[in-house]
Amino acid sequence: MIIERAYIKSNREVANNIWEMHFEAPQIASEYSGSGQFINILVMNAWNHPLRRPMSIASVVKGNISIIYKIFGEVTQLLSEKKVGDEAELMGPLGNTFSNWKNGTYPILVGGGVGLAPILNLKNECDTHHVKYDIIIGARSGDEHFMDHEPEKNIILSTDDGTIGVKGTVMVPLEKMAKENENPYLFACGPEPMLEAVRNFALSNHIPAQLAVESYMGCGVGLCQGCVIHRQNGEIGRHSYHEKYSLVCLDGPIYEAKDIHFG
């Protein structure tokens, strides 16, 4: 893990309030080990926002890293105003990766809201390794989607208001697909209520699932002990000071659904 000053190579809005940015970050790219990992971004040097902002890595191609981000508050707003050629200071790569997706199970990838980056990254890795999968992307409305609904290619979109794809949450197509396929393995990233629904479905149907979780993060390297999540299974992670919790920055952000709970 290193801190690297990186050039911004592109920055554009890909859907309503959702942006994609590419950085030239060869050092972080060379240490990168797989989808699920994230970087911690320092957008400006002034101290009115002391903390970096964690963002999942959406792709790594030849020394370039991309992120997909939603404008939430001031720092993501500032990020969206950055121009090509500007710099940002990145710390990374941080965290663990999705695993077991090439072990003969049938991966069903589920992304919701801005929880798209690690899922799209995993999708590309599956493509590269010729692993067959289904992918389901959920949003509140059609304007938040930047992919096409292509059921014939196993790409399913859902919207709460039904403007694109399946009407309802990701759980509607997910429950169907999980039952249609042998040996399903779920990989999910998105807002907490969605992850909780995926977790409950997976546990009650004895389907393995990995969740990419988010929690308010201070340092990203285990120093502040801020980003804890409730630990279900005492075995995972040794980085929090107590077995009741796990540190998302070091032990996560990817967890088996059975190993954590949402409090």
Ligand X SMILES: Cc1cc2nc3c(=O)[nH]c(=O)nc-3n(C[C@H](O)[C@H](O)[C@H](O)COP(=O)(O)OP(=O)(O)OC[C@H]3O[C@@H](n4cnc5c(N)ncnc54)[C@H](O)[C@@H]3O)c2cc1C
Q: Is 262 in the site for ligand X (CB under 6 A)?
A: no
Residue from 26, 63, 208, 218 in contact with another protein (CB under 8 A): 218
For residues 229 and 253, give the distance between their C-alpha atoms in angstroms, rounded to a whole number: 10
Q: Is 75 in the site for ligand X (CB under 6 A)?
A: yes
Tokens of residue 107, six digits: 């991966």
Beta strands of the chain (E only): which ranges? 2-15, 18-24, 38-42, 53-56, 59-61, 64-70, 87-94, 106-112, 134-139, 155-159, 166-167, 184-189, 209-212, 228-231, 245-247, 254-256, 260-261
Across the strands, what pairs with 3?
91
Shortest gap between Cβ of 119 and ligand X (angstroms)? 10
Q: Is 55 in the site for another protein (CB under 8 A)?
A: no
Q: Is 225 in the site for another protein (CB under 8 A)?
A: yes
Closer CB to ligand X, residue 73 or residue 85? 73
Which of the listed partners (another protein, ligand X, none) does 72 bind, with a CB threshold of 5 to 8 Å by partner kind? ligand X
Upper half-sphere CA count for residue 126 (Cβ side, 13 Å): 24
Shortest gap between Cβ of 164 and another protein (angstroms)? 27
Which of the listed partners (ligand X, another protein, none) does 117 bind, with a CB threshold of 5 to 8 Å by partner kind? ligand X
Site for ligand X in 156-185 (CB under 6 A): none
In this structure, what DSSP letter does residue 150 have?
B
**Contact window for ligand X (CB under 6 A) among 20-28, 137-145, 210-218, 228-236:** 210-218
For residues 118 and 63, give the distance between their C-alpha atoms in angstroms, rounded to a whole number: 18
Among 82, 14, 1, 12, CA closest to 40: 1
Q: How many residues bind ligand X (CB under 6 A)?
A: 22
Please give the C-alpha separations between residue 181 and each of 132, 172, 257, in angstroms, as whole numbers: 11, 15, 19
**Contact window for another protein (CB under 8 A) among 20-28, 156-164, 177-185, 242-250:** 242-250
Q: Is 222 in the site for another protein (CB under 8 A)?
A: yes
Q: Is 48 in the site for another protein (CB under 8 A)?
A: yes
Q: Is 51 in the site for ligand X (CB under 6 A)?
A: yes
Q: Is 247 in the site for ligand X (CB under 6 A)?
A: no
Closer CB to ligand X, residue 108 or residue 217? 217
The pairing of beta strand 87-94 with beta strand 134-139 = unpaired
* 3-state percent breakdown (helix, strand, coil) of the chain, nearest 5: 20, 35, 45
Binding site for ligand X (CB under 6 A): 38, 51, 53-56, 67-70, 72-76, 114, 117, 214-217, 253
Binding site for another protein (CB under 8 A): 1-3, 42, 47-52, 215-216, 218-219, 221-230, 240-245, 263
